[in-house]
Structure 1
């Protein structure tokens, strides 16, 4: 017999799958309607370029490095390569591809409000990343479908992003953020704002929990850990800033700095060595 919690989790998964399929269907209808409208209007200007790229497509690619905690809660830092991808304006502004969201389909491409679905990934964690993780099971990289909604008002933006890890290491999290973007000097664009992230019990247990078996194994390997069960709730809150400086029409420098604090049960986990988690990064971008 399945427990009430198992049935509840199964129903939640079914609802998420239905919501994603419904949204995909709506995107297909909306995209088809746009294409028909452009085709049927003889007086309208024919779009330049391919249907896939559209007229307002922009492509920016780059690479850099991030210096930050080896894992959420670590006191040890590590350097991580960071690819930068920003492709916007695909399929008449319905589709974009970015490093943060992955492939995103916007149901409301015109106007200050945006809402849609996304398909990205969520990171991995290996026991070899830090001595504090010795004896714990590795966490695999996971495909993470999600949804988003945002609002733009002049230089301000407000966003809510939700993603759900698939596979063995499951869990969902939602990030609410606000940003202010401005140009203090020519060619320099800054964006700064706060954010807070919430996670369900499975996500927090995946990254901050310790099972009885893991605690026993870790202790036997010289890494004494106690078993710990994480709960759903606020995961972290912080402040971040990004900077872009144009070197030429095509090349630019990008920088990022952030500081977040782990909250609630995640901050009390035996895996958490530092509640404050700083991160800085630098990269080079090319705009096609």
Structure 2
């Protein structure tokens, strides 16, 4: 079983307003080959980071990796440049979802991520009628982020991950650094695997101002008081993924993610609940 499949049976990223851009493991495939998973599932998630309101929507699933190191995973894409079996690094692209007055955004799950980074300019498969919880706040468009990732394996079961992305926010100057640790998949039965992940997120002032700040103009037309957050530690997050291999080609993947806002993001008047859960399940087919 190649390294990509091992990671496909591993930890996922948050499917929330600021999806994490993690990367599939380097896959040593024959030249010209590729590995691809596509599927569809359902997700229950906060409408935006820090809200007490939830949405249930359909969730597309996508993960592809080619033998030249290029990969697409959920709402992120990149390329492995390292040939070392214990170190991974390379460029990374990810979509930061937009936010409208209802707080709605869009996510696409990578089988081995979710993703964060994930991370979109696509139309949600399902969006119900909901009150405009952010009435009076500026609409934030989806943003293309650019950056890099660097991962290192402590041993075949554990890996440290990191990624830096810039380009989020109103003026495209928001930056986010994610540091994490992953326990790659371990068997809990003949067809069942569990994986674990944990991490922290750091952002600059411009990132927090866009997603957790309230300008004077917004305060004048909304129910929120003006607020100017700074940068620093924004959140901690934990994840558990369960994969059930139905056949060599079919898999049922379920993901539970918990995220707690910290620092100025937690103190924001937009934050109704500092801790939130995201739950998803999907069926995927391997080509």
For residues 86-105 of structure 1, the aligned pairs below 5 Å read: 86-91=63-68, 94-100=69-75, 102-105=76-79
Report the RMSD for the aligned CA atoms in angstroms.
Answer: 1.7
Structure scoring higher RCO (CA < 8 A, sep ≥ 6) equals 2
* Distance in 2 of aligned mates of 1:252 and 1:90: 22
Kept in 2, the 8 Å contact 1:261–1:276? The answer is: yes
Kept in 2, the 8 Å contact 1:67–1:78? The answer is: yes
Could you say if the C-alpha distance between residues 275 and 167 of structure 1 is closer, same or farther in structure 2, counting changes exceeding 3 Å? Answer: closer
Q: Given the alignment of the two structures, is residue 114 of structure 1 paired with residue 113 of structure 2, yes or no?
A: no
Structure 2 gaps, min length 5: 1-28, 104-130
- Once the two structures are superposed, what CA deviation does each residue of 1:31-56 show, in whole Å capped at 9, x if it has no partner? xxxxxxxxxxxxxxxx96xx6xx24x
Q: Given the alignment of the two structures, is residue 163 of structure 1 paired with residue 137 of structure 2, yes or no?
A: no
- Once the two structures are superposed, what CA deviation does each residue of 1:91-148 show, in whole Å capped at 9, x if it has no partner? 2xx2111115x22111104411001111221111111236431100011111111210
Q: What is the CA-CA distance between 1:166 and the residue it aligns to?
A: 5.3
For residues 115-130 of structure 1, the aligned pairs below 5 Å read: 115-129=89-103
Q: What is the CA-CA distance between 1:193 and the residue it aligns to?
A: 2.0
Kept in 2, the 8 Å contact 1:139–1:169? The answer is: no
Structure 1 gaps, min length 5: 1-46, 219-223
Q: Among residues 40, 61, 71, which one is paired with 2:48 in the alignment?
A: 71
Kept in 1, the 8 Å contact 2:50–2:266? The answer is: yes
* Distance in 1 of aligned mates of 2:270 and 2:83: 42
Answer with 1 or 2: which has the greater Rg.
Answer: 1
* SS class of match (1:189): strand
* SS class of match (1:180): strand
Q: What is the CA-CA distance between 1:167 and the residue it aligns to?
A: 7.2
> Which structure has the highest helix share of the two?
1
For residues 1-288 of structure 1, the aligned pairs below 5 Å read: 54-55=32-33, 57-91=34-68, 94-100=69-75, 102-129=76-103, 131-152=132-153, 153-165=155-167, 168-170=170-172, 171-181=174-184, 182-218=186-222, 224-288=223-287
* Distance in 2 of aligned mates of 1:166 and 1:236: 17
* Distance in 1 of aligned mates of 2:57 and 2:196: 22
Kept in 1, the 8 Å contact 2:92–2:146? The answer is: yes
Kept in 1, the 8 Å contact 2:99–2:139? The answer is: yes
* Distance in 2 of aligned mates of 1:206 and 1:115: 29
Q: What is the CA-CA distance between 1:285 and the residue it aligns to?
A: 0.3
